[in-house]
Structure 1
Amino acid sequence: MKHRFLTWFSILVVAFALAGCSGNDEASGDNGEDGVTIKFHTWINDEVGNWDEVIAAFEKEHPGINVETIPLVENMSNDDYLKKLDLLASSGEQLDVFMFANSLDLSKRVSAGLVAPIDSFVEEEGLNVEEEYNNTYAPINGSYYGLPAKLTTNLVLLNKDHLDAAGLEIPTDWTWNDYKEYAKKLTKGEGTEKTYGSYFHTWPDTYLILKLLGKSKNINIINEDGSSNMDDPLLKETLKLRYEMEQEDKTSVPLSATLSQKLDYRQQFFSQSASMIPTASYMITEWGEFTPDFTMAWAPWPKNKEDGPSYARMGGDIMSIAKNSEHKEEAYKFIRWFTTEGIKIQNISIPSWTKTDLNEVVDNLISTTPKPEAIHKESLLYTLKNSEASEVFVPQPFLSEAYSEFNAEAEMYLLGEQDLETTISNAKKKVQAIIDNNK
């Protein structure tokens, strides 16, 4: 009896051990005969991302690789997504593929050891990343940590009906002085019925550096080498432009109203409360809950001087592989496919892939909108084709901290609580302190 008991006990131990191994395989994505399952985390929900169709197409072309799409948030908030992604990573959750909205978000996670380099896969394929994709982000310490997905181009979105009523042409080559004059001519009415010529939102890395973004390089408050760019006179000029438009000319929605009423740039534009908004090409399709009952026109990012090319910041989503992924080869196949064929099937944005037919893509994007006739296609194509990309580099991981300090000082100036010289002086010292603390 004792030997029989030990025999059955041994069988149970072996059975539990095998069950444990099976569970570990499933958790890591190994489904035996069904192939490998990789987990793909994103902030883009199923409704917007069209993920069912995209993943079905990938799995058909790549039998043996299954993709589990996990939108971490339903509200499409990139900030909320990053918080949840960081929590998953810190808890040791198995990750495979994830998206980043920009190179700064990527840079922070590379520094934190979350992202795997893809150099070995790139070299094995013989891929020239800069030829294959529009150059929307640069290598980090000489290595690639992802592939560009969509391409966004800075531009100005305008209400063409308002332009027509004011006798203004759609701009094709203009400066910030022209923008300022347009705003004066587009501003109408008083009180709650007032239509402002312009609206600037609250993102400091866009709306506090409007003129910096029209340069060919050094378009952030911290340079690629980690040095301060706060002495660039275009920073002061940007704040002065905004103050004059918001406080003196009263042709742009004042920051005080934006903050106190929690205004949103989509609401301001689509409700026709503002006629012009500096934004980016994602607005071709990302209208939110709004459908315009007017025609949307597009113009290049305004230049700082009349002569010279029209530069624009270009960027976009980046597909990366988790450092702790146990299926990096399968993950690479997925991000390589998605950033070429897959993003075309998704059909919600302009791909970074250089082999894309821009005219075809724009036609397809417009056709998916609730009101295709609302988009002035001629001005959109002109703007996209005639915008020259600013030099790109991976920002320092502490750049967002620097922008927070700059924003605090700039807000006091734009609200009339502090003069311009004091604002620049204080902001310069605070940004330098952040740089020094991170050396």
Structure 2
Amino acid sequence: MKKKWYPAVLSVLLAGTMLAGCGSSGSNDAQGSTNGQSTKEKIKLTLWGAVPAEAGPQTVIDNWNKENPDIQVEYIRYVNDDAGNLKLDTALMTNQNADLYMNYDLPHLQKRVDAGVALELSAKTDYDIDSQIGQDAALWKINDKYYGMPTKKNMSFVWLNKDMLDAADLPIPAVDWTWSDLEEYAKKLTKPDVYGLLQAESSFTATMDGTLAGMGVKQTDGTSNFGNDLWKQQLEILHNMMFVDKSTPEYGEQLTSKMPVDTMFLQGQTAMLSAGEFIFRNANNLKDYPHDFKTAFAAIPRVNKDQTDYKYPGGVGDVLSVSAKSKNQDAAWEFAKWYADGGMLPMASGGRIPASKSVDSKEAMSLLLKGVEDKYDTDSMNNIVFGKFPSFQLNVPQQAVDARKEEYEKYFLNKQDIDTTMKNMQTRSQQLLK
């Protein structure tokens, strides 16, 4: 019997040994070398951001991939709206192809921290965010910890068609101008087929947020400040501009038609545009967006002159987070540091100026204005775009932000009056802030 089964067992053992040897050889090749060349498996990362790939991100990625053959990054674009953020959040929660991602406002970052998909960065000892990015970085802390690295200087302002202002004999507004001033400007600048004012969706609540940041989300007794008189005054002015002056589009029209406000500004269809620095990527693209007029800049207006605690949308932004579910967190962190400290410079031509002190601001400004120096009013650009103002990052639960939007939309759609709108914003926010 032994003679029958011994060769069979021996054959199995030999085969097993050969297979094990093959497996061992493959494993060593993955970590070691073949013919003197490294065969270490490449790490693949994905970066999610809202900027179109051709507007700078792809160049950034290509530069990194060329310098770091062992860590390759792929860029995935998501639109920074409700649907786009839901798409990103789903990818993060299900751990599908999302190692790094950009946050564009504090409520969405807070939501991702609460969901456990943002890696806590404060424990990192090889990079001092406070020192590198500056004091405004702390506005992005949650529970006194960093869950993302701010990478760019945030800039929101009013874009002005200076040729239209000159024709109307209107000076570039002072920094402390108000919504009443804006209303008068818009009225004088409105013509057939030309609005006095357009607003990007991201800037629609800029004054409301700056007002709330100044007075505080809650009153001293813990009551919500969402029903404040300054908000009421501004909303009434804007409603009047829509339905009486006709100097800005009706909210429903802008919403349903998805107005390309940046394109309309560059085509001379509005004299003023409330938006952020992201408009630069189109404004500097004279091939696809040709225009002859010179652009000037004004600050986002406060509600009235008595508003001494008003704060301006600005500071730092484009907060780059590492997914807490990523299998390659160390590699993702290396990319994040590189990106912030100069890797993102190709984005400067589109208005994204690096916030890191390691980046020469003159180089970034040179990239921003290269070939289009004559298209901008230099004084107002230096005063507003590169000026320093008391800024904020509004730390309010996303549910409260959403509830506020639902209520003022009803007012702008003429489905409820202003008093009901203010009462509902106050009541709903009070419940949510608890």
Q: Scaled by the length of structure 1, what TM-score is found? A: 0.81
Query: Equivalent residue for 1:298?
Result: 297
Aligned partner of residue 155 in structure 2, secondary structure: strand
Question: Which residue matches 2:178?
Answer: 175
One-letter amino acid matched to 2:313 = R
Equivalent residue number for residue 158 of structure 1:
160
Q: Residue type matched to 1:158 in 2?
A: L
Choose which of 56, 78, 85 in structure 2 pairs with 1:82. Answer: 85
* Per-residue Cα deviation, 1:122-162 (whole angstroms, up to 9, x for no partner): xx236251563351442111211121112222211111111
The corresponding residue for 1:28 is none
Asked if the contact 1:211–1:237 (Cα under 8 Å) also holds between the matched residues in 2, the reply is: no
Q: Find the residue that maps to 1:167 and give its secondary structure.
A: coil
Structure 1 residue 412 and structure 2 residue 419: aligned? no
CA distance in 2, matches of 1:68, 1:53: 10
Aligned counterparts of 1:46 and 1:240: Cα–Cα separation in 2:
39
Match of 1:375 in 2: 376
- TM-superposed deviation, 1:343: 1.7
Letter in 1 for 2:416: Q
- Paired with 1:59 and 1:149, the residues of 2 have a C-alpha distance of 22
Give the letter aligned to residue 383 of structure 1: I
| Correspondence for 2:3 | none
Q: Distance in 2 between matches of 1:325 and 1:185?
A: 54
**Pairing 1:106–2:106 present:** no
Shift of the 208–95 alpha-carbon distance from structure 1 to 2, 3 Å rule, reads closer
For residue 215 of structure 1, report the CA deviation from its aligned partner: 6.5
The 1-side partners of 2:188 and 2:334 are apart by 52
Q: Distance in 1 between matches of 2:60 and 2:400?
A: 41
Distance 1:229 1:290, change over 3 A: farther
User: Do the aligned residues in 2 keep the contact of 1:133 with 1:148 (CA within 8 Å)?
Assistant: no
Match of 1:213 in 2: 210
| Alpha carbons of structure 1 residues 86 and 57: separation in structure 2 relative to 1, 3 Å | closer
Say yes or no: does 1:424 pair with 2:422: yes
CA radius of gyration, larger in: 2
RMSD: 3.5
Counterpart of 2:63, as a letter, is A
Task: Please name the residue that 1:138 is paired with.
Answer: 140
TM-score by length of 2: 0.82
- How far the C-alpha of 1:232 sits from its partner, in A, is 2.3
- 2-side partners of 1:233 and 1:336: how far apart? 44
Residue 333 of structure 2 is matched in structure 1 by 332
Match of 2:53 in 1: 46
Residue 367 of structure 2 aligns with an amino acid whose one-letter code is N
Distance 1:70 1:404 in 2: 29
> What letter matches 1:420 in structure 2?
I
- The residue number in structure 2 matching 1:434 is 432
Deviations 1:344-396 (A, max 9, x none): 2443311122454444422311227xx55333333212103434132335x34
Find the residue that maps to 1:317 and give its secondary structure. Answer: strand
Q: Which residue of 1 aligns with 2:34?
A: none
What amino acid sits opposite 1:300 in the alignment?
A
Q: For residues 75-112 of structure 1, what are the alpha-carbon distances to aligned partners after superposition, in whole Å with 9 as ceiling and x for unaligned?
A: x5565553343333333336432222233222211111
The superposition leaves residues 205-246 of structure 1 with CA deviations (integer Å, 9 ceiling, x where unpaired) of x42452442566357x689x9973313222111211111211
Cα deviation for residue 175 of structure 1 reads 2.0
- Could you tell me how far apart the structure 2 residues matched to 1:414 and 1:402 are? 18
Q: Residue 6 of structure 1: which of 1, 12, 30 is its match?
A: 12
The question of whether the paired residues in 2 share the 8 Å contact of 1:54 and 1:346 is answered with: no
Q: Secondary structure at the match of 2:101?
A: strand
The 1:270/1:335 distance shift into structure 2, 3 A limit, reads same
| Deviations 1:155-199, CA, capped at 9 Å, x for gaps | 11111111011011122322222111111111123xxxx322112
Which residue identity is paired with 1:403? V
Aligned residue pairs, count? 412
Note closer, same or farther for the CA distance 1:372–1:215 as it changes in structure 2 (3 Å cut): farther
Deviation for aligned residue 1:59: 5.7
Counterpart position of 2:233? 237
Moved more, 306-315 or 426-435: 306-315
Structure 2 unaligned spans of 5+ = 1-6, 32-36
Q: Which amino acid aligns with 1:261?
A: S
Is the alpha carbon distance of 1:89 and 1:412 closer, same or farther for their aligned partners in structure 2, counting shifts above 3 Å? Answer: closer
Distance in 2, Cα, partners of 1:313 & 1:359: 23
1 CA distance for matches of 2:76 and 2:278? Answer: 19
Q: 1:402 to 1:24 in 2, by over 3 A?
A: farther
Task: Tell me how far 1:45 sits from its aligned partner.
Answer: 4.2
1:22–1:180 distance in 2 versus 1, CA, 3 Å:
farther
Q: Read off the aligned partner of 1:293 and give its amino acid letter.
A: D
